[in-house]
Amino acid sequence: GIQVEQSPPDLILQEGANSTLRCNFSDSVNNLQWFHQNPWGQLINLFYIPSGTKQNGRLSATTVATERYSLLYISSSQTTDSGVYFCAVGTNAGKSTFGDGTTLTVKP
Amino acid sequence: EPEVTQTPSHQVTQMGQEVILRCVPISNHLYFYWYRQILGQKVEFLVSFYNNEISEKSEIFDDQFSVERPDGSNFTLKIRSTKLEDSAMYFCASRLQVLETQYFGPGTRLLVL
């Protein structure tokens, strides 16, 4: 099956710093989502981005499907951005395969 | 905004007991999924469901697991005889069409003692 690698596995930032999270995948996909898992375990959908670039406030994401990677940018990080960020990929309406996640800690 | 709901939010059960986890997908969605996440690990796919039948299942989804969409709104996951290793957060998800966002519910945290 498809392999999903996320990097870095852990990231510690000071409040206000910027960061880039990466998701590499091993095969062609046409579904890709970024999630933030909050401290209560809920998966919060950040972006549905199988290709191209999207922005939502301080967050933006870019997927280059032909090169099999996606990037999540967080600017001016806040303590509330802490948590685990997952990339999930798939094809058509099939299952999503999740990466291992990046654990982000933002310190005040 | 419409959302996927799941009940209960937490469930504690004894090993060997049957549990039913309930989900109400977004009303006009056509594709339904169950995933699980063991504490500290990544989210794993269990099963997908479309047009009243299972479309794909993982190796985890063995004979102890079953899914139903009994009334056109609910989508349930049943574990017939729970094991300690079934302790996890179980997520339900739904999707309207093929190339669209998959919406996840808040999860049910299952603890098997």
Best mutation target, A49, A56, A96, A97, to test chain B (most B CBs within 10 A): A96
Q: Which residues of A touch B (CB under 8 A)?
A: 30-31, 33, 35, 40-43, 45, 48, 50, 86, 88, 92-101
pLDDT at A92: 84
Rounded to whole angstroms, the Cα distance separating A82 from B67 reads 34
Which of A73, A106, A102, A67 lies closest to A87 in space, CA to CA?
A102
Cβ atoms < 10 Å from Cβ of A108: 7
Confidence class for position B113, pLDDT limits 50, 70, 90: very high
Q: Map A10-43 to HEC letters.
A: EEEEECCCCEEEEEEECCCCCEEEEEEECCCCCE
pLDDT at B90: 98
B34: pLDDT strictly greater than 90: yes
> What strands lie across the sheet with B19-24, from one edge to the other?
B5-7, B19-24, B75-79, B65-68
Phi, psi of B86 (to 5 degrees): -80, -5
Give the pLDDT confidence of A68-96 residue by residue, as tens digits. 999 999 999 999 999 999 999 998 888 99
Give the pLDDT confidence of A35-58 residue by residue, as tens digits. 999 988 999 999 999 999 999 999
